[in-house]
Structure 1
Amino acid sequence: MQPTRLPLSDCLDAAVTAAHAAAAILQAYSHNRADLVIDTKMRNDLVSQADRESENAVIEILRQRTPDYGIVAEESGGQTAGLASWYIDPLDGTTNFLHGIPQYAVSIALIAHAGTLVDGDKPLERDTPVIGVVYDPNREELFTAMYGVGAWLNEHRITVSNASSLADSVVGTGFPFRDFSFYDEYMPTLHHAIRHTRGVRRHGAAALDLAWVACGRYDGYWEMGLAPWDVAAGTVIVREAGGICEDIRHQDSWPIKGYVYAGNEHTAPALDAMIQPHMKKI
C-alpha cells in the first residue's frame, strides 16, 4: 500500500482561516479585558474565556477541513492521530494579553507523522513540522510556512538574518516564570548572552519570538520549559526561512519538549555551544 501524501496547500489554507477566526475573538475581548473571567491553572499560568473560545473556533474549522488529523491543543488537550496532527496555541502570550500588552499571537502547526509523504516520493522518517501559521493581530502580521516551499510574512518571502556571530546579534529568550526546575541550567546562559551579544530581549510570546527569528528581527532565540504548541509553528517557519530550529537536548526531530534554540547557520550553533555546558545529563 502506497503512503498517502499530505495536501499541504489545503492544510495551510485551513490553518490561516482558523488563525483569523481565533484572532477576531481575541481582539473583540481585548477591548473589554476587565470583563474577562480569568482562571489560574497553576502558578503564573492563566487562562480566560478568550483562550477557550478562540481555541474552539480553531478546532471547529480544522475538524471540518481535516477530519482525519489529530489535534493537540493547549486548553482542551487532544491526541495525535492519522497522517498528521495539529498543534494549537489559540493565544500565545496570555499574560501579555490579559495585561493589555500588544504582544501575543495565534499559533497553529501541522506535524506530519513518520511514514507520510510530503515532498518527493520518500516517506518521512521522523515526525516533522510541515505547516506553520503565526498570526499577530495587533500588527496584522501573518507568518506562514510550508515544508519545502518557504516562509512568508504576509505576501513577502522572509529569510533569517545574516549575522555572523553572537557579538553582532540581538537575541530573544524567555525567563523561567512557571516551572523553575531548569533555573540552574537557564540562568548561566542568560548571563553569558548578556555579556556576549548586542542585546537580549524578552517579550513573552514564544511563537512570535521564533517568527521574528525567521524574518531577521532577532538573530537568535533560546528558551526552556515551553510546551509543544508554543514552538511547533515557529519551528517550521524558521526552518523554511533558511534557519535552524532544534531541540536543545538533541533528542527529538523538533523541539516537542519545549527546549528550543534557533538562529541562522552561524548564530544557532553559537547558541547551542553557549547552552550545552550548562545542561544537566538526563
Structure 2
Amino acid sequence: MADPAGTGPDYADLLPVARQAVAIARGIVREHAPRSVGTKGDRDVVTDVDLAVEEAVRSFLARETPEVGFLGEEHGRSGGTADEQPWWVLDPVDGTANLACGIPLCAVSLGLVSGARAALAAIDLPFLGAEYTAVAGKGAFCGGERIHVPGSDAPTDAVVSIGDFAVGEGAAARNRVRLDLLDRLGARVRRVRMLGAAAIDLAWTAHGRLDGTVILANLPWDTAAGVLLVREAGGDVVDRDGSPHSVDSSATIALAPGLRTYLMAEVRRAYGIR
C-alpha cells in the first residue's frame, strides 16, 4: 500500500469525499427512525438504518473512488485487498443498540486505512451536530476547530470511558477483566463512563471531553477512524500490552499522555500481569 507520509497518493484530497459520504449517512440516520431491529449474534443488533446507511455509502464511494477497497460492518469487504491498496472502513451506525432505544449517542465512522493504520478519518454524530475529521500529519478537527487531547496527569481528575461488555462465546471470562478494571478505575478516577459507541469514546478523547478510553476489543470499523483522531490530537493509542495500536491490535486504549503510566498499570493488573 501507499504510504501517506511518503510518495503515495495525497489522501487529503479524499477528505471532501469522506465528508460527503458521512453527510449522506447523517441524513439517513436523522430522517429515518429504525423500523426493524434484528440480531446477528448474541445480543448484537442490527437495524434497517444500519443497512441503508452502509448500502448508500458503499455505492457512493464505489462511484467516487472505484480504485479504493471497502470494508463495512454489515456486508464485509469488496473491491480489492488491504495488501494491495488503501481501503475504506465503515461503521454505518456505531451505537446501534443506543439508536434502537432512542438514545442519541451514536456515530457514523468512516476511515481510510493504508497499511496497518488509518490515514484519514471522518466521524459524524448525527443527533449531536458534531463532525470530526483528521488526515494523517495534518491535525484533528471538530468542524473547523482544531482539537487536542487534555493535558491530564492526575487520575483523580480524569474521566475515563470503558467499552461495552463482551457478548457471545467466552464473554464471561473476558468480562471478568472488564469488571476488575471497572472496580480499579472506579476507586481512583473522577468518573467512569460507558457510552456504548467506540467512535464517540475516541472522538471525545481527541476533543478533550474524556481523558481516556479503554476498549478491550478492536474491530476496524469501530476504531480505525477514531484512533487517527486521537493521534492527530496529540494523544497516545496503544494495545493492551502498551505497543502502538494498529488494525491488528487486540485492544484500543486511547488516552492523554500524562495518564499513560497509571492507566496501563491498571490494565495490566486487570489482566493479571504484574
TM-score w.r.t. structure 2 length?
0.90
Q: Which residue of 2 aligns with 1:208?
A: 200
Structure 2 match to 1:135: 124
The structure 1 residue matched to 2:175, chosen from 165, 170, 183, is 183
Offset from partner CA, 1:221-241 (integer Å, 9 cap, x none): 101134221111100000000
2:245–2:252 CA contact under 8 A, matched in 1: no
- Secondary structure at 1:46's aligned position in 2? strand
Deviation at 1:255, TM superposition (A): 5.0
Which structure 1 residue ranges, 5 or more long, are not aligned? 114-126
Equivalent residue number for residue 65 of structure 2:
66
Aligned-partner Cα distance in 2 for 1:273–1:255: 23
C-alpha distance in 1 between matches for 2:71 and 2:154 = 36
Q: Give the aligned partner of residue 103 of structure 1.
A: 105
**1:85 equivalent in structure 2:** 87
For 2:261 and 2:126, how far apart are their aligned partners in 1? 32
Aligned to 1:118: none
Q: 1:163 aligns with which of 140, 143, 152?
A: 152
Matched to 1:92, the amino acid is D
Structure 1 residue 65: deviation in Å? 2.0
Equivalent AA in structure 1 for residue 10 of structure 2: P
Per-residue Cα deviation, 1:50-90 (whole angstroms, up to 9, x for no partner): 10110111111222222122211100001634321111100
Q: 1:226 to 1:176 in 2, by over 3 A?
A: farther
Query: Secondary structure of the residue that 1:266 maps to in structure 2?
Result: helix
Q: Which residue of 2 is the match for residue 265 of structure 1? A: 257
The equivalent residue for 1:51 is 50
Given the alignment, which residue of 211, 222, 244 partners 1:230? 222
- Structure 1 Cα separation of the partners of residues 220 and 157 of structure 2: 30
CA distance in 1, matches of 2:243, 2:75: 27
Q: Is the 8 A contact 1:247 1:255 kept in 2?
A: no
Whether the 8 Å CA contact 1:104–1:136 is kept in 2: the answer is yes
For the residue of structure 2 that corresponds to 1:182, the secondary structure is helix
**1:29–1:50: 8 Å Cα contact kept in structure 2?**
yes
**Structure 1 stretches of 4+ moved >2 Å:** 79-83, 249-253, 255-258, 277-281
1:24 corresponds to 2:27: yes
Give % identity. 32
C-alpha contact (below 8 Å) 1:151/1:159 kept by paired residues: yes
Amino acid across the alignment from 2:255? G
Counterpart CA distance in 2 for 1:73 and 1:257 is 19
Q: What is the distance in 2 between the residues matched to 1:83 and 1:269?
A: 36
Provide the rounded CA distance (Å) in 2 between the counterparts of 1:111 and 1:280. 33
Alpha-carbon distance in 2 for matches of 1:252, 1:171: 20
- Per mean C-alpha deviation after superposition, the further-off stretch among 16-25 and 170-179 is 170-179
Q: Distance in 1 between matches of 2:27 and 2:104?
A: 14
Secondary structure at 2:164 match in 1: coil
Letter in 2 for 1:178: V
C-alpha displacement of 1:13: 1.4
Contact 1:228 1:257 in 2 (8 A): no
Q: Is 2:136 the counterpart of 1:147? A: yes
Does the aligned pair in 1 maintain the 2:160–2:192 contact within 8 Å? Answer: yes
Deviations 1:203-227 (A, max 9, x none): 1111011000001000011011342
Match in the other structure for 1:112:
114
Quote how far apart the aligned CAs of 1:46 are.
0.6
| 8 Å CA contact retained: 1:225, 1:258 | yes
Q: Measure how far apart 1:183 and its partner are.
A: 1.3
CA–CA distance in structure 2, aligned partners of residues 39 and 147 of structure 1: 36
Q: Say which SS state the counterpart of residue 183 (structure 1) adopts.
A: helix
User: Aligned with 2:238: secondary structure?
Assistant: strand
**Contact kept in structure 1, 2:117 and 2:224, CA below 8 Å:** no
Following superposition, the deviation at residue 193 of structure 1 comes to 0.5
Distance 1:46 1:133 in 2: 23
Contact 2:12-2:120 within 8 A present in 1 as well? no
CA RMSD of aligned residues (A): 1.9
User: Structure 2: any 5+ residue segments left out of the alignment?
Assistant: none
Separation in 1 of the partners of 2:208 and 2:125? 16
Which residue identity lines up with residue 64 of structure 2 in the other structure? R
What SS is found at the alignment partner of 1:40?
A: strand
Aligned AA (1:48): T
CA distance in 2, matches of 1:266, 1:228: 26
Q: How many residues matched?
A: 263
Preserved contact between residue 261 and residue 268 of structure 1 (Cα < 8 Å) = no
